[in-house]
Amino acid sequence: MYEFIKGTVEFVGPEYIVIENNGIGYQISTPNPFIFAGKMETMITVYTYHYVREDVIALYGFETREEKRLFTKLLNVSGIGPKGALAILASGEVQQVVMAIENEDESFLVKFPGVGKKTARQMILDLKGKLQDIVPDYFPNLFNADTYSVPVQAANSAFEEAVLALKALGYSDKEIKKISPELQKEQLSTDQYIKKALQRLLK
């Protein structure tokens, strides 16, 4: 519902911050609220996730879209709720979390509050190979084609954006991987990549 909120930092507490925008104070839970402590009365942009369940409605906020993406992916893992996902992101070591998942490093993952061996294994099963929309933007040099075998290793930002658009349309990693080698032979705009991909996928 809310992609981001831009406003001034009015309050910083242990669990949340308050961003004032046009006379309204938005209570936003963040991984580490105190990173905003030095930005009091400063205009900032917080990327938000509107969480709605039968017994709770809450706003969660992040410094970057990449953090927000990882948060939403973690919520899809059985055994991890908003509090647990925030705890994982609060470490500030997104790179290590991604590497631990890709390398199946359960011993690292169980260090987070509320993450036992069962949940760590579930994280690996659910997320391994599915973080390519986070890693290239957040840590562009983290993996290469030799060490990081995931569907659709994007060669450039236009192709990466096209892949994300195709996934949003509902195409699977397997389907996209099948046509990727042919697409990557050319340097195209995002729009052109999408059009060409759809032509191949709809054959």
Residue spans per domain, the chain: 4-62, 65-127, 151-201
pTM above 0.85, yes or no: no
Any idea which fold 65-127 has?
A: DNA polymerase; domain 1 (1.10.150)
Pair 59, 108: CB distance under 8 Å? no
Evaluate whether the domain defined by 4-62 bears CATH number 2.40.50.140. Answer: yes
Helix boundaries (H) for the chain: 65-75, 82-90, 94-102, 106-109, 117-127, 135-138, 157-168, 173-183, 190-201
pLDDT in tens, the chain (203 residues): 789 999 999 999 988 999 999 999 999 999 989 889 889 989 999 999 999 988 889 999 999 888 898 999 999 999 999 988 998 888 666 778 888 898 899 988 988 888 899 999 999 999 998 887 676 654 444 544 343 333 333 346 788 888 888 887 778 888 888 888 888 888 888 888 888 888 888 76
